[in-house]
């Protein structure tokens, strides 16, 4: 986002420049954190004179807030209201809720629901483990799809040509255990397509192994479930149990929904 995306004429893009700038500000602060007017102007490539009125309006409407000095801008309370409304109204979240509860009760481990958004996975729901487990997987967090079992499960469902566009040629590792060879990563995702589930070990969070399955709510699945387990608590029998449960849930949902579109 280091360059101004909205400098292109709205006549050629169909975008309203001021509206695009509002969305760019929200996206930038969500991704990079709070910033001063100068920092935001530099990050977005928007002239300070144009940005000043925009920031004041967004603060007045609750989309942005400032610190005590009034100079650092952060996301406002209205973003929470809108995101909560999105979660309440999403059909996949309501359908998956009981399944997540079922898996969490059976495994007593952390269960995630995620959605494929471009080349990333966004966490849309979570059930906490009954055991102490620190994971950076808050609802709304975005991670590269290739680095998570959720993302790999969904990438495995995509047509090969689409999958190829969603995996970068330069793999940025999230941990020291990450797979950074693109060919090896493509092979891992190909295997996930063959066996029906994906996995990763310490590639998104050190000390944690994850297993994920895509949900049959759309033709090329864009939602997935995963179970995250500390390696210290995982043996072969427990791993098999978790995988079998995820595959069983996937098969049951496939039969119920007949792979039909929900969104």
CATH number at residue 138: 3.30.450.40
**Do 95 and 223 reside in the same domain of the chain?**
yes
- CB neighbours (10 Å) of residue 111? 24
Whether 32 maps to a domain, the answer reads: yes
pLDDT in tens, 51-79: 999 999 999 999 999 988 889 999 999 98
Domain boundary among 27, 53, 81: 81
Contact 249, 225 (CB under 8 A): yes
- Residue 143 CB contacts under 8 Å (≥ 6 apart), including other chains: 120, 121, 123, 151, 174, 204
243 has pLDDT over 90? yes
Query: pTM for this structure?
Result: 0.77
pLDDT in tens, 180-210: 999 999 999 999 999 999 999 999 999 999 9
- DSSP letters along 32-48, please? H--EEHHHHHHHHT--H
- DSSP letters along 16-78, please? -HHHHHHHHHHHHHHHH--EEHHHHHHHHT--HHHHHHHHHHHHHTTSEEE-TTS-EEEE-HH
CA–CA dist 212, 225 (Å, integer):
5
**Do 178 and 251 reside in the same domain of the chain?**
yes
Range of the domain at 32: 17-81
Cα 202 from chain centre: 18
Give 134's pLDDT tier (boundaries 50, 70, 90). low
**Do 113 and 147 reside in the same domain of the chain?**
yes
Give 258's pLDDT tier (boundaries 50, 70, 90). low
C-alpha dihedral (62, 68, 74, 75), degrees to nearest 10: -30
- Residue 9 CB contacts under 8 Å (≥ 6 apart), including other chains: none
**Do 64 and 116 reside in the same domain of the chain?**
no
Tell me the torsion sign for CA atoms 262, 151, 116, 106.
Answer: positive
Contact 125, 161 (CB under 8 A): no
pLDDT of residue 263: 43
Residue 50 is part of a domain; what is its CATH number? 1.10.10.10
**Do 177 and 242 reside in the same domain of the chain?**
yes
């Amino acid at each position: 986002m280091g360059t101004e995306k909205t400098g292109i004429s709205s006549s050629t893009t169909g975008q309203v420049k001021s509206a695009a700038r509002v969305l760019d500000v929200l996206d930038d602060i969500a991704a990079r954190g709070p910033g001063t007017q100068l920092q935001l102007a530099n990050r977005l490539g928007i002239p300070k004179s144009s940005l000043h009125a925009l920031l004041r309006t967004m603060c007045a409407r609750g989309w942005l807030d400032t610190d005590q000095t009034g100079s650092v801008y952060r996301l406002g309370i209205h973003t929470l209201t809108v995101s909560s409304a999105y979660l309440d109204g999403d059909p996949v979240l309501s359908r998956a809720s009981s399944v997540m509860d079922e898996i969490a009760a059976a495994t007593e481990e952390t269960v995630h629901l995620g959605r494929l958004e471009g080349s990333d996975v966004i966490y849309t729901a979570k059930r906490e483990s009954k055991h102490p487990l620190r994971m950076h997987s808050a609802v709304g967090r975005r991670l590269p799809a290739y680095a998570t079992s959720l993302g790999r499960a969904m990438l495995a469902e995509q047509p090969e040509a689409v999958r190829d566009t969603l995996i970068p040629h330069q793999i940025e590792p999230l941990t020291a255990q990450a797979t950074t060879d693109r060919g090896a990563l493509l092979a891992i995702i190909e295997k996930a397509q063959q066996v029906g589930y994906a996995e990763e070990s310490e590639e998104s969070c050190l000390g944690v192994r994850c297993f994920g399955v895509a949900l049959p709510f759309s033709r090329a699945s864009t939602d997935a479930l995963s179970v995250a387990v500390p390696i210290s608590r995982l043996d072969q029998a427990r791993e098999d149990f978790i995988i079998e449960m995820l595959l069983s849930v996937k098969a049951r949902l496939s039969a119920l929904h007949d792979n039909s579109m929900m969104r």
